[in-house]
Amino acid sequence: MKGLSMFAKVSIGLTLTIVVAAAIFLLGIRPTLQNIRYHEENIAQLEAKVARIPTARQLVERARARVQQAERDLARIERTKMPVNTIDLSDRLKAWMQYPDMVREIGVKLRVWPERTGVQRLYEVNLPPPPTDPNAIPTIVLVFPIGQVQVRASSFESLLNHVRKWNEVPNLVVLVDGLTISGMSPELYGSYTLVVFVYPRVSGGQVGPNVPSSPQAQQGGAPGVGGFGGGFGGGFGAPSF
Q: How many CA atoms lie less than 13 Å away from 175 in the CB half-sphere?
A: 11
Name the helix (H) or strand (E) containing 178.
strand 173-184
In the predicted structure, residue 38 carries a pLDDT above the cut 80: no
- Say how far apart CA 83 and CA 142 lie, in whole Å: 12
Mean pLDDT across 107-114: 95
User: What percentage of the chain has pLDDT greater than the value 90?
Assistant: 49
The reported pTM is 0.65
pLDDT at res. 225 = 35
Q: Are 172 and 109 in contact (CB under 8 A)?
A: yes
Confidence of residue 2 (pLDDT cuts 50, 70, 90): low
pLDDT at res. 5 = 56
Q: Among 25-34, 143-152, 163-172, 227-236, name the one with the lowest average pLDDT.
A: 227-236
In the predicted structure, residue 9 carries a pLDDT above the cut 50: no
**86 CB neighbour count, 10 Å cutoff:** 21
For 115-124, write each residue's pLDDT tens digit.
Answer: 999 999 999 9
Tell me if the bond preceding 170 is cis, omega within 30° of 0: no
pLDDT at res. 77 = 79
Domain ranges within the chain, ordered by starting residue: 1-81, 88-209
Our separate counts of H helices and E strands in the chain read 5, 4
Mean pLDDT across 209-238: 49
Amino acid 13 reads G
12-16, 37-41, 48-52, 88-92: range with highest mean pLDDT: 88-92
In the predicted structure, residue 237 carries a pLDDT above the cut 50: yes
Looking at per-residue confidence, does 54 or 20 come out higher? 54
Q: Select 88-209's CATH number: 3.40.50.970, 3.30.70.60, 1.10.10.10, 3.30.70.20.
A: 3.30.70.60
